[in-house]
Chains A and B, each alone.
Chain A
Amino acid sequence: KQEVTQIPAALSVPEGENLVLNCSFTDSAIYNLQWFRQDPGKGLTSLLLIQSSQREQTSGRLNASLDKSSGRSTLYIAASQPGDSATYLCAVSKLDSNYQLIWGAGTKLIIKP
């Protein structure tokens, strides 16, 4: 059974720092991995999607990497800003489960001005 873990559960850093959020999964037979952002009281916004054949994806100040063999993904945020404060969730999908997403519990990120 696929399990997704995100550590730490919460993180608080000063503005301007570069930071890394971690996601680990137990079954390497994934189809893709997505990183989402969730603001309080709002839905989920997809940030980056990495196909199983890819190693990384970049969007602006965000870079996500994928290492299937070790069951890990990282989300790198460069030059953090207070507006980056949110909960970040990762989710993996599998071929043999109708591509359904298996979710981590998220990392709550606070960027202090």
Chain B
Amino acid sequence: EAGVAQSPRYKIIEKRQSVAFWCNPISGHATLYWYQQILGQGPKLLIQFQNNGVVDDSQLPKDRFSAERLKGVDSTLKIQPAKLEDSAVYLCASSLESDRAPIYEQYFGPGTRLTVT
């Protein structure tokens, strides 16, 4: 079974530029999460999708961050314009929930390390 795929793995941009990250979850996983992880901290949830609908985006800085999951499969997270404090690792995770497996165990991709200069 293929894991969660993310690209790019690394990105360096200047402040005020824009950037986009892509995530493809494990096949069949309905729930997709985007996290921001600053060095030395635990991940912070930015947005949670269930299929192509948003479950929670309360911690997404909507003035500069946007995310979509149009067909309920892969997802894109965008930052425009970027700030220095956006330098972090952006993690994507997915989980499978069903009547037979309501465990909500999350599986993570390798992450994208963003450096804003």
A43: B residues at CB distance < 8 A: 4, 6, 91, 108-111
- The residue that B41 contacts in the complex, of A45, A100, A105, with Cβ under 8 A, is A105
Interface-side segment among B13-21, B61-69, B80-88, B99-107: B99-107
Tell me the count of chain A residues lying within 8 A, CB to CB, of chain B. Answer: 24
A contacts with B: majority SS: strand
A44: B residues at CB distance < 8 A: 43, 91, 93, 108
Interface centre among B6, B40, B43 (most CB of A within 10 A): B43
B78 at the interface (CB under 8 A from A): no
B97: A residues at CB distance < 8 A: 99
Tell me the count of chain B residues lying within 8 A, CB to CB, of chain A. Answer: 24
B42 and A89 form a contact (CB under 8 A) = yes
Using a CB–CB cutoff of 8 Å, the interface residues on chain A facing chain B are 4, 31-32, 34, 36, 41-46, 49, 51, 89, 91, 93, 98-101, 103-106
Shortest distance from the beta carbon of A5 to any chain B beta carbon, whole Å:
10
A46 and B91 form a contact (CB under 8 A) = no
Q: A43-B91, A105-B41, A106-B42 are in contact. Are A51 and B113 (CB under 8 A)?
A: no
- The residue that B48 contacts in the complex, of A32, A49, A98, A106, with Cβ under 8 A, is A98
Separation of A93 and B93 alpha carbons in the complex (Å)? 15
Separation of A46 and B48 alpha carbons in the complex (Å)? 19
B113: A residues at CB distance < 8 A: 41
